[in-house]
Structures are given as C-alpha cells and as structure tokens.
Amino acid sequence: MFGSKSREPEAQVTQPGSDLQLGGERSVPAVRVNAFRIGLVGGLGVLLAILIGGIVQQLSTVLIYIGVALFLALGLDPLVSWLERRMNRALAIVIVFAAVILIFGGLLFAVIPLIVDQATNFGSQFPQIVSDFTKSDFVTGLQSQIGNFVDIDKAVQDATAFLQDPNNLLALGGGLLAVGSGIASGVTGSVIVLILTLYFLASLRGMKRMTYRFVPANKRASFASLTDDVTGAVGRYVVGQISLAAINGILSLIFLSIIGAPLPALFAFVAFLASLIPLVGTLSGAVIITLVCLFASPLTALAAGIYYLIYMQVEAYFLSPRIMNRAVSVPGSIVVIAAIAGGTLGSVLGALVAIPIAASAIIIVQKVVFPKQDAKV
C-alpha cells in the first residue's frame, strides 16, 4: 500500500542454552571440552587396569588351582549323575571322590615306589648300559658311516658324565632349594586341588542356580539349558581324555614289559601323563620312550617305535573317534587350531582346556547365534 512503511526484519532473540538460528538454519551448539577431566579419568582408568592386572598376576597360582579343580569337578559330575539314578547325590559324591582318593593314594604308595625303585636300578646300571650301547653294532656302523665328523663315543661319554653329576642336575632344576620348593609346591597344590574339587563337586548345582539368578527370568530357562550343555561337554571331554590316557598307559606297560624295555612302569606312567595332552601328547611320549629304549638295545627301540606307530594309528582312527565323538563334537581343524593356540597361551594347561573351550564355543554358536540369525527373515 502507498504510504506504508517497510518493516525491517525483526532480530531473533535466543534464550540462553537454546540453539542459535542463523538464516532459518539450526546451528550446532558449541561443545566445551575439559581436557583436564578427560586426562584425569583416563589416567585413573589406566591405573585401575594396571592394578587389576597386578592382582591377577599375583593370584595366578590360585586361579590355576581353581580352574583345574573346576575342570575336574565337571569331569567327575557325569559319574556322580550316573550314580545318582541309583542312590542319593551325597552318597554318589562320596563314592566318586573316595575312588579318586584311592587312585591318587595308589599312585603315591604303589606305583611311585615302583617307579623310584626302577629309576634307582636304572641309575646304577646306566654306565654299563651306555658302555654296551657305544660298543653295539649299531653305533659302530653309524660311526663308520659318518667318519670323523662326529665322535659318537666321546659325545655319549660326555653326556653320561654330565648326567651322573648331581650338581649339574640340580643346576638344571635351579638348585637344590628350587627343586625341593618345586616338589613341596606340587604336593601342596595337589592337596588344594583335591579339596577344591570336592567342594565344587558338592556345590556344583548350587553354583549353577546362583549363576542363573543373574539372567533375566524370561531368558533363564534357555540359559540354563545352554549352561548344562556346555558343562556336560566339558565333563565328557575330561572323562574321554582320561580314558584314552589310561588305555595308552596300560597297553604301554604290557608291551614294554614283554619286550624287556627298561623302566616299564615309569615309561607307562610317562605315556599316561603325555596322553593327557591333546594332539601332540601321545607322539611326544612315544618319542621319549623310544629314545631311552635305544640305550638298552636298538632292537628294543625299534620294537617300541613300531608299536607306538601302530598304536597312534589305532588311537587316531579307532579309539579317539569312538570315545571323543561321544564327548565333544569338534571338527578336526578346530581341534588342531585350539590345541596350538591353547598351548601357546597357557602351555600344557592351556592345551588341556582349549578343546573343551572350543566345544563350548561351538555349542553357543549353534544354540544362540544361529537361531538369532535364522529368525531375521
């Protein structure tokens, strides 16, 4: 209209704390960064992580005892559950644990004195065994083949002199105090593990029920089913691995006694312990036994080598599939990867627990991850 005054655009007034508008567009509010607060909180987090790591390192031995005891308790639980069908659970636990104590006591009072006696006899006869070995046709023929490149006789004599010196053996073990401390720690640790195993075995169901309470009620049933499957797989694996080791130990004792190998009881015990290590245990025990049998007689070593070569094939293609497939269904490639990774991270103990951990992960993937992915249609 004529005579009307044009109006100037009104300035937009913003309230404190509101977003500033320019040209009708909302601008991003300014963010104030308190560098001191962020640095302080980050530093405290690093210090807390270092403190927790130090505590875990200081308690590493205790944590190993707890882990081994829980592992054994899960392994004995299937036997307890089987006996529980015929009697009270408390009585079943007493029977199973009494059997474990009897086996442990039998090893201490029957097998170990026999092993010590055989080891003592072997030590007294060791110089004569070495002398016969160096004069055997096998060493003589080998020496003639390699010529003066290596003096086998001198090398064997030097090794014998080194092993016969107790100071050298103690030096290898870290000294007399270290050897004695290691033996005492081993005995103490075994007793602690047995006591913890009894407590875990008696309160295993209570521990599971308490764990279930941390899960929401609407997911508690599925979590309980998954936990039972995982713990059952671990228990069956322990039983299966001990069964394989026992078979190897018994057959080794019989065969080594037949062929006249030195220290058959000691070597059978070595075969049993080595077979507890998955993947490489049986092979490692076979190599050690065969090499020591070489000092007694090349023919004895050859017989032992052929026997263990045949046994490893029987174990791999007949015994292990029938025993372990009922325990844990883990693909062969996963077994190899888990055993190598566990051995790298945790030595022998890591290799022992790697396969049941892999089996547990497979169960979790099959029962949790796959159903969730299949439901996304």
**Residues 230-256: pLDDT tens digits?**
887 777 787 888 888 889 999 998 998
d(CA 239, CA 243): 6
Q: How far is CA 281 from the centre of its chain?
A: 12
Average pLDDT, the chain: 75
Strands (E), the chain: 21-22, 25-26
Judged against a pLDDT cut of 70, whether residue 10 lies above it is answered with no
Percent of the chain with pLDDT over 70: 67
**Residues 66-107: pLDDT tens digits?**
888 888 888 888 888 888 888 888 888 888 888 888 877 776
pLDDT computed for residue 90 by the predictor: 83
**Angle, CA 343 vertex, CA 340 and CA 347 arms, to 5°:** 170
Judged against a pLDDT cut of 70, whether residue 332 lies above it is answered with no
Contact assessment for residue 276 and residue 352, using Cβ atoms and an 8 Å cutoff: yes
Buried b (16+ CB within 10 A) or exposed e, 85-95: eeeeeeebbbe
Residue 193 token pair: 């593990």
